[in-house]
Structure 1
Amino acid sequence: MTDSGDSIDRHESSLPGVLGVIDTTISRIESFFLATGVLLMALNTVANVVGRFAFQQSIFFSEELNRILIILITFAGISYAARHGRHIRMSAIYDALPSNVRKPLMIGIALVTALFMFGLCYYSIGYLLTQASRGRVLPALQIPVWITLVWVPIGFFMTGAQYVLTAIKNMTSRDIYLSTSVLEGYEEDELEI
């Protein structure tokens, strides 16, 4: 927290105890992987463009590396979006409901979404194991294809955990939260047409 108490450090959870530690840890992991992935993708792409136009030689593994980084960014990003309440919502009916109905509905939505995320995690592990059993490798990098897919179940698991934490936050708070740190509602600029 800042001295004025007006804002929360973006890595510090508003949840108490061990749940706060889990939430903070997930936040730091997401931030690290997203920042690292975006920076590496930018560096790789710029280096490939410079190599292609200045030296008439592309980096032979550039496409494969960017494909791996896209998977990383996508599946770390779904957890990040859940943490910041940024997933697309169809909320016209939900917004019209009274708050005493919206709160249990938000808890239900978070728990059902968590269930789906954990289900997708389970199925993605099966897919990953299938890919591992095939023994395929990337042509340029010569690393097993299954290693590039490790981020998929991790991302689904972290997203599911984030939605469970959101449900708990709503169960323990008077307000209604879209995530552990984002209150429901709209900003002024979102209401302007």
Structure 2
Amino acid sequence: MLHTLNRALSRADSWVHRLEAICLSGGILLMAINTIVNVFGRYLFSQSLYFSEELNQILMVVITFMGLGYVTRKGRHIRMSAIYDLLPDAWKKRLMLLLTLSTALTLFLLSYYAYAYVAQVARRGMITAALQIPMYWTLLVVPVGFFIAGLQYSLAFIKNLQSRDIFLSFSALDVYDESQTDPLM
């Protein structure tokens, strides 16, 4: 049963990872192309793309919120670990369980509130200024990003319940790597 659960969780994690990779790489690539085309248009034809700034703002939101789950999966999120690092492993494990569970619950709550806000924007019929697309389309990634990050923290919680080791995420073990802090390495 545990093996089947882990396999299902790994498969779901893999699917979400592909979705994030497409959104992140596509968003960054589209932002770069949009910016380059806008610069060429401005300097070669004295004409900017009227929607360029708005599109880049939308893409920044996509990259930011889809990146939440990605950095959580990789165990690369910002951590304040001075006290945590001083604790014995048994207490680190307990604290990691508390942190992953409480963070997951908080992110799910934020996802709910973000969804409620997006629904309110949709009801108002707001549209973007330049592209004239429904504003809620540009904001849908916010509750989705919070939800995916909540899932990643939930997976980390489950992994920490199952393992003797301490995991930052479903696949990232909590290990101290000096090369991450030494600028000369």
* 2:169 is aligned with 1:179: yes
Q: CA deviation at 1:190?
A: 3.2
C-alpha displacement at 1:102, in angstroms? 0.8
1:58 to 22, 33, 48: 48
Among 93, 100, 108, the residue aligned to 2:90:
100
Matches within 5 A, 1:1-193: 16-192=6-182
CA–CA distance in 2 between the matches of 1:50 and 1:110?
Answer: 46
Give the secondary-structure state (helix, strand or coil) at the position aligned to 2:127. coil
Runs of 4+ that moved beyond 6 A: none
List gaps (5 residues or longer) in structure 1.
1-14
| Cα offsets for 1:144-184 (capped at 9, x unmatched) | 11110000000000000000001111111121111112111
What percent identity do the matched residue pairs reach? 51
Higher fraction of helix? 2
Alpha-carbon distance in structure 2 between the residues aligned to 1:125 and 1:175? 35
Letter in 1 for 2:152: Q
| 2:129 partner letter | P
Moved more, 148-157 or 182-191: 182-191
* TM-score w.r.t. length of structure 1: 0.89
Give the distance between the partners of 2:53 and 2:29, measured in 1 at CA: 15
Gaps of 5+ in 2: none
Q: Which amino acid aligns with 2:58?
A: I
How far apart are the structure 2 equivalents of 1:94 and 1:79? 22
Aligned letter for 2:59?
A: L
**Secondary structure, counterpart of 1:16 in structure 2:** helix
Cα RMSD (Å) of the superposition?
1.3
How many aligned positions are there? Answer: 179
